[in-house]
């Protein structure tokens, strides 16, 4: 009887030990999960604060504080390093001294000390054309992906990719007219594509326009413009071949609105619209295995 009780006690001891060990492992795992969840919450909070500061510093035109959010090795998908990138920001501030920015975070993905942040961004400003004595309005919207890295408990922006972008600058009566420019957001190098301008033509007005292709380089190189009458359906199209220089490009349309009041013909509005086309370089090292293709 004592032998049986001893065996039962031994068995109970083993069961309790295994149970406690399993429970300890379960609790440790739960603790690790809680710590990871809290870490990710803290990281996302820090990243959200970074982008809130980005808007705040940009609205205050504080270049030093704005640059402090970016890593020294920052690069964007146009190949601009930090120095060139912020020289263009300064040029924009000089040209549009009342420009304002808004950034909406759409998604944050974490991978250890790395993160990607998807944003939707807008910029708005006014512009005085002193030659024509008219006021212009700038409106820009874009979708971007930022790449961040954590250095010594501080996040910094290491890269930026603008996935799509369209900007309009309208003067005079053109401010009240719907204008759009349709272009592919991404295309392979050396491929043909069509850019189409769409305008809501006001009654009794004649609209002329020009569509050009410009590489995103600094300083910018503007091509010669050739204006044509916009069709009665409000469209004007042009076919381009994307460059093979591994450089992204813009399609830029210039539009002029003219009116005839029976005594004279005069221009009552002008507009410019720019759409980004990201060009994917040709990968000469990616080849098809013909033997594998033949088996399919």
How far apart (Å, rounded) are the C-alpha atoms in residues 175 and 278? Answer: 28
- Report the pLDDT value the prediction gives residue 39, as an integer from 0 to 100: 77
How far apart (Å, rounded) are the C-alpha atoms in residues 26 and 210? Answer: 68
Is the pLDDT at 33 greater than 80, yes or no?
no
What average pLDDT score do residues 30-52 get?
82
CA neighbor of 223 nearest in space, from 234, 214, 232, 235: 214
Q: What percent of the chain has pLDDT over 70?
A: 82
pTM recorded for the entire structure = 0.84
pLDDT digits (tens, 9 = 90+) for 207-250: 999 999 999 998 888 888 889 999 999 999 999 999 999 999 99
133's CB contacts (< 8 A; 6+ apart) are: none
How far apart (Å, rounded) are the C-alpha atoms in residues 49 and 104? Answer: 12
What is the Cα gyration radius of the chain?
29
More confident residue, 157 or 134: 157
Is the pLDDT at 178 greater than 70, yes or no?
yes
- Report the pLDDT value the prediction gives residue 284, as an integer from 0 to 100: 85
Please name every residue paired with 105 in a beta bridge, in sequence order, or none if there are none: 119
- Report the pLDDT value the prediction gives residue 1, as an integer from 0 to 100: 42
pLDDT digits (tens, 9 = 90+) for 96-146: 999 999 999 999 999 999 999 999 999 999 987 646 567 889 999 999 999
- Three-class DSSP labels, 42-110: HHHHHHHHHHHHHHHHHHCCCHHHHHCCEEEEEEECCCCEHHHHHHHHHHHHHHCCCCEEEEEEEEEEE
Q: How many residues does the chain have?
A: 296
What average pLDDT score do residues 15-21 get?
56
Determine the distance from the C-alpha atom of residue 113 to the mean position of all C-alpha atoms in its chain, rounded to a whole number: 22
- Under the banding of pLDDT at 50, 70 and 90, the label for residue 20 is low
Structure tokens at 235: 């469209």
Is the pLDDT at 28 greater than 80, yes or no?
no
Mean pLDDT over the full length of the chain = 87
CA angle 18/21/24 to nearest 5° reads 150
Max intra-chain CA distance, the chain: 124
- Report the pLDDT value the prediction gives residue 27, as an integer from 0 to 100: 58
CA neighbor of 132 nearest in space, from 167, 97, 181, 169: 169
| All structural domains of the chain | 12-163 (3.10.450.50), 177-296 (2.60.40.2470)
What average pLDDT score do residues 241-260 get?
93
More confident residue, 117 or 21: 117
How far apart (Å, rounded) are the C-alpha atoms in residues 208 and 101? Answer: 31
Structure tokens at 30: 């739960």
Is the pLDDT at 251 greater than 80, yes or no?
yes
Is the pLDDT at 205 greater than 80, yes or no?
yes
Is the pLDDT at 185 greater than 50, yes or no?
yes
How far apart (Å, rounded) are the C-alpha atoms in residues 146 and 162? Answer: 9
Is the preceding omega at residue 219 within 30 degrees of 0, hence cis? yes
């Amino acid at each position: 009887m004592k032998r049986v009780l001893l065996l039962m006690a031994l068995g109970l001891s083993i069961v309790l030990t295994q149970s406690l060990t399993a429970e300890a492992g379960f609790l440790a795992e739960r603790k690790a999960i809680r710590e990871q969840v809290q870490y990710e919450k803290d990281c996302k909070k820090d990243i959200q604060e970074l982008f809130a500061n980005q808007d705040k510093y940009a609205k205050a035109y504080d270049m030093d504080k704005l640059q402090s959010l970016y890593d020294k090795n920052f690069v964007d998908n146009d190949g601009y390093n930090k120095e060139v990138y912020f020289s263009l920001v300064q040029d924009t501030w000089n040209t549009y001294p009342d420009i304002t920015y808004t950034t909406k975070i759409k998604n944050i993905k974490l991978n250890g000390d790395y993160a990607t942040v998807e944003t939707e961004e807008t910029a708005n400003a006014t512009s005085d054309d002193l030659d024509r004595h008219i006021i212009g309005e700038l409106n820009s919207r874009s979708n971007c992906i930022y790449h961040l890295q954590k250095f010594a408990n501080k996040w910094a922006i290491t890269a930026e990719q603008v996935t799509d972008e369209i900007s309009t600058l309208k003067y005079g009566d053109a401010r009240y007219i719907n204008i759009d420019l349709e272009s592919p957001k991404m295309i392979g190098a050396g491929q043909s594509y069509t850019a189409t301008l769409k305008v809501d033509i006001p009654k009794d007005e004649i609209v002329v326009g020009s569509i050009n292709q410009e590489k995103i380089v600094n300083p910018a190189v503007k091509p010669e413009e050739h204006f044509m009458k916009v069709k009665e359906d409000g469209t004007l199209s042009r076919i381009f071949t994307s460059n093979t220089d591994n450089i992204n490009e813009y399609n830029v349309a210039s539009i002029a609105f003219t009116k005839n009041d029976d005594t004279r013909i005069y221009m009552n509005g002008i507009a410019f619209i720019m759409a980004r086309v990201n060009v994917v370089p040709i990968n000469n090292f990616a080849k098809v295995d013909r033997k594998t293709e033949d088996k399919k």
